[in-house]
Amino acid sequence: MSTVSHVHAAHLKTLYSEHHGWLYGWLRGKLGNTGDAADLAQDTFVRLLGKRDAAPLREPRGYLATIARGLLVDRYRRQALEQAYLEALAQQAEPQSISAETHAIIIETLLAIDRLLDSLGARTRAIFLLAQIEELSYVDISTRLGVSLPTVKKHLVRAYTECLVLAAA
């Protein structure tokens, strides 16, 4: 372990011992659930383990709260997406029975798609969804959105490129 790693580890140990209780309480207040609060508090510190910055923080609680808020948003987003998936399954004419492993893989895939769509930007996302979900032609998309045909093509190339990058990862 290098000197920077020792400093980083020592800093994290101090940060954890001084602020974990506060963070846990803060999350418990937000979530109303001790188990989820404990999990998210731990996840917050795990997120810090991956950071290389060993410098002490000026506002450690603010920094920890920012990380925890991001994790909360991720959790709520995952729950909403999973609920939408379960509702779509329930609407199927024939009941679908899948294993817990397959369910987890589907949810992770949907989350990856959600992150991808979120990263595209509003216009690219709209054009991509019109092409993929509504199966509109380039001309129909151009007409509906009031943009030029080259603009539609440019945004679809960008979206497809991002999809290929995701698939390769």
The CATH number, out of the four listed (1.10.230, 1.10.1740, 1.20.1250, 2.40.50), of the domain defined by the range 3-87: 1.10.1740
Distance between CA 30 and CA 72 in Å, rounded?
Answer: 9
pLDDT at 55: 63
How far, in whole angstroms, is CA 156 from its chain's centroid?
23
Q: CA angle at residue 117 from 112 to 122, to 5 degrees? A: 160
pTM of the model: 0.65
Q: What is the pLDDT of residues 2-24, one digit of tens each?
A: 555 777 778 888 889 999 999 99
- Mean pLDDT, residues 54-60: 74
Give CA separation, 169 vs 106, 162, 163, 165, 166, in Å: 16, 11, 10, 6, 5
Q: Are 82 and 107 in contact (CB under 8 A)?
A: yes
Separation of alpha carbons 158 and 120, rounded Å: 8
- Tens digit of each residue's pLDDT (9 = 90 or more) over 22-37: 999 999 999 998 999 9
pLDDT digits (tens, 9 = 90+) for 38-56: 999 999 988 888 776 656 7
Can you give the residue ranges of every domain in the chain? Answer: 3-87, 120-168
> For the segment 132-157, what is each residue's pLDDT rounded down to a tens digit?
989 999 999 999 999 999 999 999 99
Just give the CATH number of 120-168.
Answer: 1.10.10.10
Q: Distances in Å between the alpha carbon of 111 and those of 75, 107, 114, 117, 118?
A: 11, 6, 5, 10, 10
